[in-house]
Structure 1
Amino acid sequence: MTAVLKVQALAAGYGSVEILHRLSLEMGSHGNIGLFGPNGHGKTTLLRALSGLVTPRSGRIEFFGDDITGWTPRRIVDAGLIHVPQGNRLFPDLTIGECISLGAYSKRSRSSERQNRETVLSIFPKLRQRWDQKVRTLSGGERQMVSISTALMASPRLLILDEPTLGLSPKLKEDLCLAIQAISNNGLPLIVVEQDIEFLLRLANHLFFVNHGEVASEIRPGQGVDHSEIMSLYFGH
């Protein structure tokens, strides 16, 4: 069966600085993957390369068997690879409803706009109650709900979440975890970047440790996690 995503010997960076050094990983047709590792070691650069925001210098990216290396962000979105970046990058003066509706701008998502909206509001019922509220008045957790909802309106075939719980309280983190689990249970494959390994393990069964722009270690489905091993990956022996 065709892999959802295959990254082969990917190199990418900014200006004269190379961040990713021939990084390779593969996402099969079953289960989610999680990325973790120290800040500044290539996780976000990898996500930007996958979504066309950074042009790879070499290597190959396949999405459901199609070579998407060097595609524009718009073409990648049209193909169904949707990336929710860090930081709730929303339009503050739009309402929740207006922001979410923007997610359905592509041709492939317009036909399922109504169905996607109902799915979003079943996962995040609070947004239905606040449909006409300005985004700038929302809490961090509520903005993250809107960000993910906007992404779901694009009819993703793969959803990428970059540190979705950053800055959230334990209660909001738990609520968001349950919502993301519901999204996954609907059959949508996920790539999640998180520093909280316990959170990550609830969402992904295949983990990759990214360090110095490479996959330094891999935890496969069913392998189990030794927390002392995780600590040694971060801080050395």
Structure 2
Amino acid sequence: MSDAALLTVEGVTAGYGRVTVLHGISLDAGRFGNVGLFGPNGHGKTTLLRAVSGLVAPKKGTIRFDGEDITGRSARAIVATGLIHVPQGNRLFPDLTIADCMALGAFSPRARPHEAANREKVVKLFPKLGERWRQRVRTLSGGERQMVSIGTALMSHPRLLILDEPTLGLSPKVKDELCAAVLDISQSGVPLIVVEQDIEFLLELCQQLYLVDHGTVATEIRPGESIEHAEIMAMYFGH
């Protein structure tokens, strides 16, 4: 693992209109391995991811990806660098087929040469998508749509993949399938930033954890710093 962070967020303040959600937040990712973000709902985790991926413009601070300043760049320009964000919830075009979505995922010049190889990886990771390749997104289950979202992101040939609550609202069986797929993605060499309510999964997947509370980092847990599930839950609920 390189000593240099792949992503660095320094003193970022951001929000929506007059409402400030992030208050000078700082963290880095890719130095120690996968990063997990946890904390109460409404305290800035999703806003942080949106700022990193160009969906929210920071009011202050700096965001660097692989040493390059990407602060305030468009989402399209950030995707072109290989920083790929799978947002929370179903954000797919319902009338596109799975095949259409995969083709869109590979639209950038850096992803296009890898389209065939990445398509093969996606179908191997999510065999159900291969079976339903020509089906429209609106005909799929919630779990299958989440597979499409992650598969489309993989078609973009990510250098860093951000997942915002990938198992939210899924049945236990489908959730286990998604968790296994995310672990496989990590083991294939793609570094991850994951927001997830399932603390056990974060502990299994991530080497570095951040507790985000009221728009700042309240606690950072690095490799070698022993932490138990009960301790994280105590942080989570403020006890």
Which category describes the TM-score, using the shorter chain as reference length? over 0.9
Partner secondary structure for residue 20 of structure 1 = strand
CA contact (8 A) 2:96 2:136 kept: yes
Name the CA distance, whole Å, in 1 between partners of 2:157 and 2:122. 11
Q: How does 1:1-237 map onto structure 2 within 5 Å?
A: 1-237=3-239
Q: Tell me, which stretches of 5 or more residues in structure 2 are unaligned?
A: none
Matched residues in 1 for 2:69 and 2:173: separation? Answer: 40
Give the aligned residue type for 2:164. Answer: D
2:175 and 2:221 mapped to 1: Cα distance?
23
How far the C-alpha of 1:236 sits from its partner, in A, is: 2.3
Q: C-alpha separation between the residues in 2 aligned to 1:2 and 1:199?
A: 26
The answer for unaligned runs of 5 or more in structure 1 is: none
Q: Distance in 1 between matches of 2:96 and 2:28?
A: 38
Question: Is the partner of 1:145 in helix, strand or coil?
Answer: helix
Q: CA deviation at 1:115?
A: 0.9
- TM-fit CA distance, 1:30: 4.2
Mapped contact 2:200–2:229 kept (Cα < 8 A): no
Shift of 1:218: 1.2
Identity of aligned residues (%): 66
Residue identity opposite 1:170 in structure 2: P
Give the TM-score of the pair, scaled to structure 1. Answer: 0.97
Q: Is the 8 A contact 2:37 2:45 kept in 1?
A: yes
Q: Shift of the alpha carbon at 1:17? A: 1.0
Cα distance between partner residues in 1 of 2:106 and 2:30: 27
Deviations 1:124-165 (A, max 9, x none): 111111101111111111100000000011111000000000
Contact 2:199/2:229 (8 A) holds in 1? no
Rounded to whole Å, the distance in 2 between the matches of 1:227 and 1:96 is 37
Could you state the TM-score of these two structures normalised by the residue count of structure 2?
0.96
Letter in structure 1 aligned against 2:234: S
Question: 2-side partners of 1:27 and 1:201: how far apart?
Answer: 16
Instruction: Give the Cα separation in 2 of the matches to 1:211 and 1:41.
Output: 5
Once residues 32 and 122 of structure 2 are traced to their aligned partners in structure 1, the CA distance between those partners, rounded to angstroms, is 23
Q: Determine the C-alpha separation between the residues in 2 that align with 1:50 and 1:172.
A: 28
Distance (whole Å) between structure 2 residues aligned to residue 96 and residue 104 of structure 1: 13
Aligned length: 237
Alpha-carbon deviation of 1:234? 2.3
Deviation for aligned residue 1:50: 0.2
Q: SS of the residue aligned with 1:69?
A: coil
CA RMSD of aligned residues (A): 1.1
SS at 1:111 equivalent: helix
Deviates more, 1:33-42 or 1:119-128: 119-128
Separation of aligned partners in 1, 2:237 and 2:119: 44
Displacement of 1:28 in angstroms is 3.1
For residue 187 of structure 1, report the CA deviation from its aligned partner.
Answer: 0.5
1:122 is matched by which residue type in structure 2? K
